[in-house]
Structure 1
Amino acid sequence: MPHLRPTAIAGLLLLIPAAGALSSCGFHYPTDRVNNISAGVNDRGGDMDALGIRVLARAKGEGQLIGALSNSTTETASLEAISSSASIQAGKFKPVEVTGRGTVNLADGSDVTLTGDFTAGDVIPLELSFSTGQTISLQVPVVKDCYQYTAVPTPTPQGGKNSASAGASSDGAAADAGGAETDGDATFNCSDQAPTPGAVEH
């Protein structure tokens, strides 16, 4: 019936754009991608992954490395050392072992401390060195001890002048200044981190 042909052609033309739109979706759905929502920094470039790495500062010049380390190999590996191109030193710490195919949360008692020229809100260069020979270079954000971070246990000093309790300078003056900063400096004030629950803005 000739009078139906234009209708059939119009219907076919409507289906072609829809098919093109569906074919552009592909198989890489957003739910298949790595979710990097984090206040920290990530590196997945080697056998050892650094995930959500941050420095939790409780005072000026005193911090604790937090985040997670993940081992994609079948052999146990460990975080052996931390260094920095800035005026930042790592305190003495026991190597952090990560079993094969395992993950370690650094906030769970690893006691990796840092001292030096930094404070909350800074981004500092750190290099994480592993027993495998891998080194990860990161630009790490420094966060303050507010809200969810208050649940992180305070590290136990391992001794030596570079421990968190020794302060950021060799003469110990920065340690006293750091304590004062926590009480009086707005840098460590938590009130600007999140709105008060139930508060009404005017």
Structure 2
Amino acid sequence: MGQRTDTRDRIIQASLRAMRERGYGSTAISDIVEASGAPRGSVTFHFKGGKDEIAGEVIALRASQVFEGIERAVAKSTSAADLLETCLDRIAAEFAESGFLAGCPVVPITIERAAQSPELSEAGAGFFAGWRESLARGLAGHGIDPGRATRIATMTIAATEGALAISRVERNLDAFDAVRDELRALVA
């Protein structure tokens, strides 16, 4: 990994936005250069591994954002149902605020590149495992049996990713509302 600089961070932030909106394949290095305001040479200097290295950093950044969001939700929640509702509502609101464009970048990155890049496959697996473990810990902290909490966390993640796809196409939050309400009822 290259030295951490403001330019490098701007490139990662711009890449995260672009890959959340367009996916991996539709995000060109030229898009990243334009969005970050960094010279093209800075991109190649900081990311000698090219777009795959950038995508790995995007996954790491998104993971930290998601995990921090779960930690905040756990701290504020009063029950398992409240925790799930808080997490889903935060993701739904962020998605709606983006005009139904800024979804999860990890799914397109891993679908498009995991077969060719073991590093991205591993990073994607780590993202989903960490998300599942963080959410399961929060659910267990609210009295859900740990084994069941892991299964509910897995179902929540799968339903959230599906809701992102449906909401992007339908341009509304109906899928998120349904997922939130059914998960809430499941753990109530």
Q: Under a length normalisation based on structure 1, what TM-score does the superposition of the two structures give? A: 0.29
Larger-gyration structure (1/2): 1
Per chain length, whose mean CA-contact separation is higher, i.e. which structure has more relative contact order (CA < 8 Å, sep 6+)?
Answer: 2
